[in-house]
Amino acid sequence: MRISGLQTAGTPGDVAANVRELDVACARAAASGSELLITPELFLTGYDIGDRLGDLARTDLLTPVQDLARRHRLALVVGLPEHQNGACYNSAVFVGPDGTLLGRHRKTHLFGDLDRRHFSPGDRPTSIVDFGGLRIALLICYDVEFPENVRAAALAGADLIAVPTAQMEPYAFVADHLLRVRAWENQVYVAYVNHDGAEGLLTYVGRSSITAPSGEVLDSVRRGNQLISATVDPAVVARARKDNPYLLDRRPDLYAPALFAPEDRTC
């Protein structure tokens, strides 16, 4: 499957403008042969926009995404806030090319005061969607920096991990180095799709990428509003897991914290 990611500064706080930008990106991705387009974290609203996040989370943000998916016959992973039962979540929705909501992920690891001020944490390490012959796991930004989340996705059989992201300065090293390690140690594709430019008090690092199970970066961009694209092949994942059997060679019996007495917590 060919996939694309939209790196963009977006228009913070302006849902209608971001929907229009997504419409154009969908047309470009579909014309290139992509079947899936991934946006940055909270793309539809912006991230560092203050209390407007909570207000926008109470509006219908899903319908315009579904409309675009149907119009372009393109699956979408879109970052947006959600409000449910008195709580607000930093979410990514997976919408199929017929507009059906196939899955969602709510960010589990909240980063800093900005996240914690507005959002409640999700309760699943990852969320899995089966689409087009692929198992696709969803994580959001800081989630991918915890190896347990990515390993959980790999153990669930994920071929691709889609990561809408809002990575800011001074953490460019995460985008430059960590993603390749996550892909290699789990033999999985990782699509890391970031904001660019500045928003509120944040300066984003850009550096979106799609990385293969070998750790090879298949496509990337440092700056600017651009699409990245690559082909995801589950046969490559299967071969990588056979050649580099980290998942099979694990010793989970050694990892459980309960196995260690307090005086033995040393390496």
What are the start-end ranges of the E strands in 153-216?
A: 160-164, 189-193, 198-199, 202-203, 208-211
3 in Cβ contact with 229 (< 8 Å): yes
Active site residue 242: no
Cα 119 from chain centre: 17
Q: Where are the domains of the chain?
A: 2-264
The CATH number of domain 2-264 is 3.20.20.70: no
Mean pLDDT split into 10-residue runs, the chain, 267 residues? 98 98 98 98 97 95 98 98 96 98 98 94 96 98 97 97 97 96 97 96 97 98 97 97 94 74 50
Cα angle 142-203-64, degrees, rounded to a multiple of 5: 70
Considering the candidates 21, 35, 141, 145, report the single residue annotated as catalytic: 141
Alpha helices, H only, the chain: 15-31, 52-57, 62-72, 112-118, 147-155, 172-173, 179-186, 234-243
What the block records as the tokens of 99 is 């507009």
Q: What is the structure's pLDDT at 258?
A: 57
* Short-list 171, 174, 132, 168, CA closest to 150: 174
Q: What is the structure's pLDDT at 263?
A: 53
125 in Cβ contact with 137 (< 8 Å): no
Q: What is the structure's pLDDT at 164?
A: 98
Considering the candidates 35, 82, 88, 107, report the single residue annotated as catalytic: 107
Active site residue 107: yes
Amino acid found at 113: D
* Short-list 170, 81, 147, 149, CA closest to 117: 81
Active site residue 267: no
* Short-list 187, 107, 102, CA closest to 153: 187
Q: What is the structure's pLDDT at 265?
A: 47
Provide the 3-class DSSP secondary structure of residue 30: helix
Question: What span, in angstroms and rounded, lies between the C-alpha atoms of 11 and 19?
Answer: 10
Q: What is the structure's pLDDT at 267?
A: 43
Considering the candidates 41, 82, 145, 199, report the single residue annotated as catalytic: 41
Question: What span, in angstroms and rounded, lies between the C-alpha atoms of 262 and 128?
Answer: 36
Q: What is the structure's pLDDT at 261?
A: 54
